[in-house]
Amino acid sequence: MTCRLHEDTETPSAHLAVPDDVQDAIRTLIRWAGDDPQREGLADTPARVARAWKEYCSGYDEVPALHLSRTFEEVGGYEELVLLKDIPFQSHCEHHMAPITGKASIAYLPNRRVVGISKLARVLHAFARQLQIQERLTAEVAECIWEHLQPQGVAVVIEAQHGCMTGRGVLTPGVRMVTSRLLGCFLEDDRSRKEVMSLMGY
């Protein structure tokens, strides 16, 4: 049996044509880092890296709000909290283009309308698949839901590790950064805020 390592999996970008100038830029980076971009193991790396980054940044091709365009009003009188907890995600920081890996909890208090729960995760991923900072990612997700669902309140908490801390610089693995954005009743009402944060585990 032959074992072939590091092959591209079949993704939407797997057969994407990569412009020469993009591949040249990656070859320049490899050369500057101290290796030979022409050696066998690196010969196809520029195209692979380019396609990978097109996938990492696929959020630029999405309009996150479109995931919230279909809502449901027949909810049997349900007017309580909706919470999607511990959604895993990956992003890349705009400062070092290093991975941001973590989880998000997204909650809202409906105002007559609800949305399919998978759509909350899709909104998160659409923003995460852009070059980001965690603070902005948290705010963008919360404000998108607030604007387009018009609920009574929105709460978003993101907890993540940053490759720019774990793999370079201060070299401190295991540190998690927590950010939150609260809007509406979760910001204004102490009881509502405590309830949603408790259910999220904070």
Q: Which residues are part of the catalytic machinery? A: 93-96, 134, 162, 164
Q: CA 176 to CA 158: how far, in whole Å?
A: 10
> How large is the angle between the packed helices 134-149 and 117-128, nearest 10 degrees?
140
| Residue 6: half-sphere exposure toward Cβ, Cα within 13 Å | 6
Q: How far is CA 169 from CA 7, 164, 166, 176, in A?
A: 30, 7, 8, 16
Q: CA 24 to CA 27: how far, in whole Å?
A: 5
Asked if 185 and 152 count as a contact pair (C-beta separation under 8 A), the reply is yes
Q: CA 125 to CA 89: how far, in whole Å?
A: 7
